[in-house]
Chains A and B, each alone.
Chain A
Amino acid sequence: ETGVTQTPRHLVMGMTNKKSLKCEQHLGHNAMYWYKQSAKKPLELMFVYSLEERVENNSVPSRFSPECPNSSHLFLHLHTLQPEDSALYLCASSQDRGFGNIQYFGAGTRLSVL
Chain B
Amino acid sequence: DAKTTQPPSMDCAEGRAANLPCNHSTISGNEYVYWYRQIHSQGPQYIIHGLKNNETNEMASLIITEDRKSSTLILPHATLRDTAVYYCIVTGLQGGSEKLVFGKGTKLTVNP
Contact = CB atoms under 8 A, between A and B. Distances in A.
Given A43-B102, A102-B46, A106-B43, 17 more contacts: A42-B102, A42-B103, A42-B104, A45-B99, A45-B101, A50-B97, A55-B96, A56-B95, A92-B44, A98-B96, A98-B98, A100-B98, A101-B98, A103-B46, A103-B100, A105-B45, A108-B42
Nearest to A43: B102
Contact of A97 (B32, B45, B97, B103): B97
A104 interface: yes
B41 A99 contact: no
Interface string A1-36: 010100000000000000000000000000000000
Interface string B43-66: 111100100000000000000000
Interface in A60-107: 90-92, 94, 97-107
B97 A98 contact: yes
B98 A108 contact: no
Contacts of B102: 42-43
A111 interface: no
B92 interface: yes
Interface of A: 2, 4, 42-43, 45, 48, 50, 55-56, 90-92, 94, 97-108
Interface of B: 2, 32, 41-46, 49, 92-93, 95-105
Contacts of B105: 42
A81 B93 CA distance: 33
